[in-house]
Amino acid sequence: MRDLVRQKFLKHRDLAEMLFATGSAELIEENSWGDTFWGVCEGEGENRLGRVLMEVRDELRPGYKLSGEATPADVDHWHSRSQGDFEA
């Protein structure tokens, strides 16, 4: 999941900028449909998506080129750091 979220923000600079604009705020995937694994419903849940978003934000921010898209070398670098990221 972490790798997919990372790829989303590498491909969509506008979304990455919105993610970076959250600063160091805690991100909570609050929902009303009862998902307590990826999010939080009625105050209960593991908020795994929120944690993944915060981790990707912290990982990408230092090297992200806001003036342009990530280069293939950037993607390779971030991908090599993410080997084994198949769990939340």
> Using 50, 70 and 90 to split pLDDT, how confident is the model at 86?
very low
pLDDT value at position 29?
97
Query: Which residues does residue 40 pair with via DSSP β-bridges, in sequence order?
Result: 30
**SS3 state at 83:** coil
Position 35 pLDDT exceeds 90 = yes
| Angle between helical axes of 72-81 and 2-11 (0-180°, round to 10) | 160
The residue with greater pLDDT, 86 or 20, is 20
CB atoms inside a 10 Å sphere around CB 19: 20
**Could you report the per-residue pLDDT of 37-75, keeping only the tens digit for each?**
999 999 999 999 999 999 999 999 877 765 455 555 555
**Computed over its alpha carbons, how large is the radius of gyration of the chain?**
14
